[in-house]
């Protein structure tokens, strides 16, 4: 004799499924701030990798500013080029004959390993087609953290207090400093760097350790 589910049993199963769905679905919901932080960690590691495989060391006698040519990540926070959003760019500056300009032109930027037609920037003044709002933008939109993830600020504390340029040497050691045509004050980070991303409601911190440059998300 075949048995069938009663109406009460079917209702009970549906209720149980509903309870499980209500419990599980919120835990797998995306968190834009955390996604942005995970991306930032990945790109910090990529910048470090470029610095280690493409050593920019030159003869200090013939090129006293050679440190400016190391692979680095530069952060931008205001201006039309980034649509007034927190953004960053990965590049290696070149001496164009009159010194290192620090302008991060498109030819100096890292290529996107997932699309070689793009350069690793979320918007930059180095070229008109690297302005975030430009329809011909050839950068990586997700590197504009404000436009893509709603990030409203990045606080830089610890070893990278007020940092704008995060640079790595040939051993992957992190450095910070002012980078302009007239200054070269790169110095090794003496304590762990804390980059905290916020959307105004929640925050996630990215830690870059001194000495090793290892980047990871701070566990809360």
15 exposure class (CB count in 10 Å sphere: 0-12, 13-18, 19+): exposed
Residue boundaries of the structural domains of the chain: 34-217
Distance separating alpha carbons of residues 105 and 165, to the nearest angstrom: 15
pLDDT above 90 covers a percentage of the chain that reads 50
Distance CA 88, CA 177 (A): 16
Angle at Cα 214 formed by Cα 210 and Cα 33, nearest 5°? 110
pTM of the model: 0.81
- 3-class DSSP assignment, residue 94: coil
Among 80-84, 187-191, 195-199, the least confident range:
187-191
Q: What is the structure's pLDDT at 58?
A: 59
Residue 38 has pLDDT above 80, yes or no: yes
Among 113, 54, 88, residue whose Cα is nearest residue 166: 88
Least confident of 71-85, 95-109, 144-158: 95-109
């Amino acid at each position: 004799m075949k048995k069938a589910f009663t109406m009460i049993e079917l209702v009970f199963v549906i209720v149980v499924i509903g309870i499980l769905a209500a419990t599980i679905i919120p835990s797998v919901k995306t968190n834009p701030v955390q996604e942005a932080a995970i991306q930032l960690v990945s790109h910090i590691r990529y910048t470090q990798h470029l610095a280690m495989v493409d050593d920019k060391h030159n003869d200090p006698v013939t090129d006293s500013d050679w440190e400016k040519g190391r692979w680095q990540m530069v952060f931008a926070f205001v201006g039309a080029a980034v649509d007034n959003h927190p953004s960053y760019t990965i590049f290696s500056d070149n001496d164009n004959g009159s010194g290192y300009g620090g302008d991060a032109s498109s030819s100096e930027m890292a290529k996107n390993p997932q699309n070689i037609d793009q350069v690793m920037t979320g918007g930059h003044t180095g070229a008109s087609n690297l302005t975030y709002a430009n329809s011909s933008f050839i950068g990586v939109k997700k590197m504009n953290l404000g436009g893509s993830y709603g990030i409203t600020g990045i606080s830089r504390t610890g070893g990278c207090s007020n940092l704008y340029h995060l640079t790595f040497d040939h051993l992957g050691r992190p450095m910070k400093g002012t980078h302009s045509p007239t200054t070269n004050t790169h110095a090794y980070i003496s304590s762990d760097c804390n980059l905290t991303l916020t959307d105004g409601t929640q925050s996630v911190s990215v830690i870059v350790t001194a000495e090793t440059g290892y980047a990871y998300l701070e566990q809360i």
